[in-house]
Amino acid sequence: MVKDFDFPVNAYIGGKWHKTAKTFSIKSPYSGEVVAEVADSGIAEAQAAADAAVEAFKSWKKLTAFERAKVLRKWNDLLIAHQEELGRLTALEMGKPITEAKGEVLYAASFVEWSAEEGLRVNGEIMQSRFPNKRQMAVYEPVGPVYAVTPWNFPTSMITRKAAPALAAGCTIILKPAEQTPLCALYMAKLWEEAGGPAGTLQVLPALDPVPVSKVLMEDMRIRKITFTGSTAVGKILYAQSAATMKRISLELGGNAPFLIFEDADIEKAVHFTMLSKYRNAGQTCVTTNRIYVHKSLESDYADALADAVSKLEVGDPLNASTNVGPLVEQQGLDKVVSHVEDAVSKGAKVRVGGKSLGGLIYAPTVLTGIQPGMRVLEEETFGPVAPIMPFEDEAQAIAWANSTDYGLAAYVWTRDLSRAFRVAEALEYGIVGVNDPVPSAMGSNLPFGGYKNSGLGREGGHWGIEEYLETKFISFQLP
Ligand code: NAD
C-alpha cells in the first residue's frame, strides 16, 4: 500500500518540489508491496536542474567557507535527529536490516560533520619564487556544478560522501539517486532545505531510467564534474562520456575482496571477523569479503566454526530490530547469487550451510567449501550472503591469488605475525587493507576510501575527498 510520507516524493529542482508527468513505483524488497509512487525525471527536469545549479553556483561559491559550514553543521544535526526515519526508509526501500540502516545514517552524517570542518582548512599556498620581483601563489576554487550518481546499497551515506565535500568546497550538486532508493535521497534534500541550504545548491532527480537525465548532464559543458558510485560497467560508460566535456571524474566501483587467514590466526576471531565483513547488508557491500583464502592447516576448523555461526543468523523482516540478514534488493541480484552457488556446486563445491532461496528475495546465509579456481564465486562480485572458502599452501600463493583479479577495492588479512602483516598489506594491490580489522572504513569520514584498477578513480573521505571538488589556480604577481 502506498504510504503517506511527511516529505514530497517529487523532483527537487531549484529549491522547489516539482511534480513530473510520470511517476514510478518503489517496492519493498521484503514484502513486495508498492510503498511509494515517485516523480520520474527526464530531459526537461535535467535541463532545469542544470540551469539552477549553474545559477546557484554563482552565489554559493562566493559565501565564505565559514558560512557554508554553518549550513552543513545544521544538516548534520538534522540527519542525526532523523536517524530513525532515515533508517526506516532504508529498510523499507532496499531491505537493509534497520539496526544496520540506522548505523549507516550516523556514518552518512559523519561526512557532513567532517566536510563542514574540512572546508575551513582549504587554504592556498604561497610558493618561493625564482624572481625577486614576483609573488606566486596557488589558490583552490570549487570545480563548479557537479553531477552525482549513487547506488542503492548505501542510500544515505553514498549521497553525503559526495554532496558534503562538494557543498563544503563551494560546488553545487545535482543528485540522481538509484531508481530503487529515491526516498532516502528526497528525505535528505528536505533536511537540506530545512537546514537553510539555498535553492539550487543540492537538487535531486529521481528517475526510473537513468539514461535521459544522465545524457543531458554529461553533455552539458557547464557541469564540471561527475562523481559516481556503482558498478564498474556503468562507471566505464560515464568515464568515456566525460571525455567530450573534459569533466573531472571520481569513480567508486565494484570490488572482489579477498580475506586471507594465515596459520597463526585465532579461529574464533577470524570467524567473528568474517561475520562482520561478509553478512552485513546481506553481502551487498562493495567492500564485502567475496573470497576467503585460509591456510590449509585451519581450513576444516574454520569452516566448521563459520558454518555454526552462520546457521545462527536471524534472517527476515528488515524492519525488525533483531534481524541480521534481510532480502536482496531485487530479483536480478537474487538470480546472480543463485547462479553463482549453482555454478560452484556443479563444479564440486560443498554447501556447509544455506545454499538455497528462502522465498521472496531472501537467500539463506551460505558457506561453501571445496572451492576451485574457475568458479564464478571467485571471479565475480557475488553481492550476496555467500562465503566461499579455499585453502592455500603458503603466503606467496595467498598473495598471488588475492591479486589475481582486475578489481582492487578492499582486502583483508588475519595474522598475529607483525612482519607478515606489513609484508602482505604492502603486497596487496588494493586501495583499502584491513589487517585484523573487518571494518577498516567504519565511521571513516576522515579516511581515504577508494580502489585500484577496475575499482575506480579518486578517493572519498578526509582531505582527499574534498580535493576531488577543487581546482588549483596559480596566480603570479609581478611587482613594478
Ligand atoms: P549500477 O551501476 O547498476 O547503478 C548505480 C547507479 O548508476 C544507479 O543510480 C543507476 O541508476 C545508475 N546508472 C545505471 N546505468 C546508468 C547509465 N547508463 N548512465 C548513467 N547512470 C546509470 O550499480 P548498482 O547495482 O546499483 O550498485 C552496485 C555496485 O556498486 C556494485 O558493483 C558495488 O560494488 C558498487 N559500489 C561501490 C562502492 C564503492 O565505494 N566503491 C560503494 C557502493 C557500491
Alpha helices in 138-209 (DSSP H): 157-169, 182-194
230 CA to centre of ligand 1 in angstroms? 2
Residue 462 DSSP one-character state: H
What are the pLDDT digits (tens) for 211-243?
999 999 999 999 999 999 999 999 999 999 999
228 CA to centre of ligand 1 in angstroms? 7
127 CA to centre of ligand 1 in angstroms? 41
Please, how many CA atoms are within 13 Å of residue 374, restricted to the half-sphere of its CB? 7
Please tell me the residue having the least CA distance from ligand 1 atom 35.
Answer: 230
Please tell me the residue having the least CA distance from ligand 1 atom 8.
Answer: 178
Our mutation pick for probing the ligand 1 site, out of 231, 251, 430, counting the most ligand atoms within 8 A of Cβ, is: 231
Neighbours of 439 (CB within 10 A): 14
| Residue 1: predicted pLDDT | 64
Please tell me the residue having the least CA distance from ligand 1 atom 26.
Answer: 151
Please tell me the residue having the least CA distance from ligand 1 atom 42.
Answer: 286
Helix (H, G, I), strand (E, B) or coil at 332: helix
C-alpha cell at position 322 = 533483531
- Give the pairing type, strands 225-229 and 146-149: parallel
Ligand 1 atom at minimum distance from 287 CA: 34
444 CA to centre of ligand 1 in angstroms? 21
Residue 296 DSSP one-character state: T
Ligand 1 atom at minimum distance from 161 CA: 40
Ligand 1 atom at minimum distance from 456 CA: 41
201 CA to centre of ligand 1 in angstroms? 23
Rg of the Cα trace of the chain?
A: 23
286 is catalytic: yes
Helix (H, G, I), strand (E, B) or coil at 4: coil
Residue located via cell numbers 563548479:
144
Our mutation pick for probing the ligand 1 site, out of 43, 96, 107, 149, counting the most ligand atoms within 8 A of Cβ, is: 149
- Helix 98-118 with 83-94: angle, nearest 10 deg: 120
184 is catalytic: no
pLDDT lower than 70: segments of the chain: 1
234 CA to centre of ligand 1 in angstroms? 7
**344 to each of 45, 335, 353, 393, 397, how far by Cα in Å?**
46, 14, 14, 21, 21
Element (H, E) at 173: strand 173-176
Q: What is the largest CA-CA distance in the chain?
A: 81
Q: Which of 118, 286, 299, 381 is an active site residue?
A: 286
- Cα(21)–Cα(3) distance, integer angstroms: 20
Please tell me the residue having the least CA distance from ligand 1 atom 18.
Answer: 211
What are the pLDDT digits (tens) for 4-20?
898 999 999 999 999 99
List ligand 1's pocket residues with C-beta within 6 A.
149-154, 158, 176, 178-179, 210-211, 214, 229-231, 234, 237, 252-255, 286, 381, 409, 451, 456
Amino acid code (one letter) for 354: G
